[in-house]
Copies of this chain bind each other. A is one copy, B any other.
């Protein structure tokens, strides 16, 4: 194997953090939930690269878990945001940038007649659910088993600190299973407020599945028939697969949709976009946050979305995703491993066959880290427009070495 990463600064920071933060770090970026050997602290990001606190450089395939879509510190996006900061990010109301962004989103998203802005993806999904209930006067929200929609009690993947009542009006079904959806609709009866679906099935640790066109059409038909809201949670996938919204290619329009992550290329922003039928409901709820009219993040979003329109950024990202997927398939086979690579190539999930305890996947990802490639063993990854063919080829070289490393360490395919 190659040498251990330099990690003395990381260890020192984690030790200090553990004194003043429970467990040192929390949430989805806590590396103790990934695999031993991951650096926890970072110092810098640029393009498709990140540097950890010890200065180790990585070709990054997590993109800050989604926000980075054009490349970290994209000069045009940064310039637009900093120009707003130079005038004052916040005041006693929105700026004209809010109007500009709302108009751009309504023009861009195939399903949107109006928008509202927030800071977190969870804010956006929560607002969608609240609007669905306000507009319909009903309570039940149908959600797919295992889907992630945020980290507050009504939707958190953890039940610690959560009461039964927080989830009293959720009804579960299986993604892509129309019969299961019908059973949930039946269970909700005349209290059906909405059906909440991620853009595709991207549950942690599992093979990903694109939505089946017939399933989406069925969900749409159910909502048309019942008056319930079809809610697209496009927080993770939005503005990475398709600037028009991730279901535009299926011709299925949600009534409400939640966006965040890559909408402003890393600047903190979320948005709800909805159809006219839900405009009154949206106008009746009370939703707000101290920083939600901050204009820097909105200016970043305007520029990000314009670049997505005017450049080949998303087509390029897809091409790079195909290059990575094809390369990994060839190289892994050469080393005797079978990979399951699922979901959109821009958001790849890479799992090893017969590796339920992730023994192989973890070893491979840590070996890749040591060769300067930042992968994830069980969460979908993210490509961005800053990944070049050369970056992908370097990453594939690193993966080739990582496969060799784990084989020589005695880790073989089952």
Contact = CB atoms under 8 A, between A and B. Distances in A.
A94 B261 contact: no
Nearest to A122: B289
Interface in A97-147: 98-99, 102-103, 105-106, 113-116, 119-123, 126, 129-134, 139
Interface residues of A, number: 109
Contacts of A160: 130, 134, 284-286
Nearest to A138: B163
A161 B131 contact: yes
Interface string A2-42: 00000000000100110111110111110100000001111
B44 A64 contact: no
A94 B42 contact: yes
A153 B154 CA distance: 10
A285 B30 CA distance: 13
A106 B72 contact: no
A281 interface: yes
A151 B288 contact: yes
Contacts of A29: 92-94, 288, 293
A374 B120 contact: no
Interface string A53-97: 100000010101111100011000010001001111111111110
Q: Count chain B CB atoms within 10 A of each CB in A42, A113, A156, A292 and give the residue with the most.
A: A42
A283 interface: yes
A64 B42 contact: no
A298 to B, nearest CB: 12
Given A120-B120, A126-B152, A268-B294, A166 B163 contact: no
A290 B87 contact: no
A287 B27 contact: yes
A268 B286 contact: no
Contacts of A166: 154, 165-166
A363 to B, nearest CB: 19
Nearest to A39: B93
A282 B26 CA distance: 9
A41 B100 CA distance: 13
A130 B114 contact: no
B286 A156 contact: yes
A218 interface: no
A114 B290 contact: no
A157 interface: yes
A342 interface: no
A410 B235 CA distance: 54
Contacts of A161: 129-134, 281, 284-285
A90 B64 contact: yes
Contacts of A39: 93
A273 to B, nearest CB: 10
Given A20-B114, A22-B283, A283-B22, A290 B92 contact: no
A90 B78 contact: no
Contacts of A85: 73, 78, 82
Given A26-B283, A29-B93, A119-B120, 11 more contacts: A20-B99, A28-B288, A29-B94, A67-B90, A67-B291, A120-B120, A120-B289, A122-B289, A134-B161, A160-B284, A261-B290
The 3 closest A-B pairs by CB, nearest first: A27-B288, A45-B88, A134-B161
13 contacts: A26-B287, A26-B288, A42-B88, A45-B91, A53-B95, A53-B96, A65-B92, A73-B88, A120-B289, A126-B152, A134-B161, A151-B287, A158-B286
